[in-house]
Amino acid sequence: MSFPKKGNSFHGGTDGNPSYDHADTFAEMVSAVLRRSVGGRPSAVKLVARWTGARERTVKNWFAGSCAPKGDHFRDLVRHCPEMLDAFLVSVDRQDHLALAKVIQVEAALLDALAAIARLKQ
C-alpha cells in the first residue's frame, strides 16, 4: 500500500504569473491572484489556509487552478487579499465599482493627511 504524497508543491498551473484579466474560469482567476499576491512566499499555502480555514490540500488546488473557493472561503480571501476583489470586479465587467472603491480610499487618505497637517499647525 502506498500513501499519498504530501508536500508544498503546486500541481498544474504555469510557472509565470498569468494575468487574471485573461483568465477563462473563476478558478484560473483565483489561481492567478493568489500566485501574484502571496505565491512567492515559502509558506503561501499555510498563510491562505489560515486566512480561510480551508485545508492545505484545498488551498493547493486553488493555487493550481483546478478548483475554486466557494462562498465563505472566497469572502475570507477577499478580506485578506484586496487584489481578489479587484480581479473579481474586472472579471464581471464592474470596473465602475472598482473605481468608486478607489475614490473612497483616496478620499479617506486625503482626510487623514489633512488632519495630520492640522495637528502639526497647532
Output the domain CATH number for residue 63: 1.10.260
Residue 13 in any domain: the answer is: no
Cell of 61: 488546488
State pLDDT tens for residues 21-49: 556 899 999 999 999 999 888 899 999 99
Residue-wise DSSP of 35-88 = HHHTTTSTTHHHHHHHHH---HHHHHHHHHTSS---HHHHHHHHHH-HHHHHHH
Residues 33 and 57 grouped into a single domain: yes
State pLDDT tens for residues 50-101: 999 999 999 999 999 999 999 999 999 999 998 998 899 888 888 777 777 7
How many structural domains is the chain composed of?
A: 2
For residue 99, give its domain range. Answer: 94-122
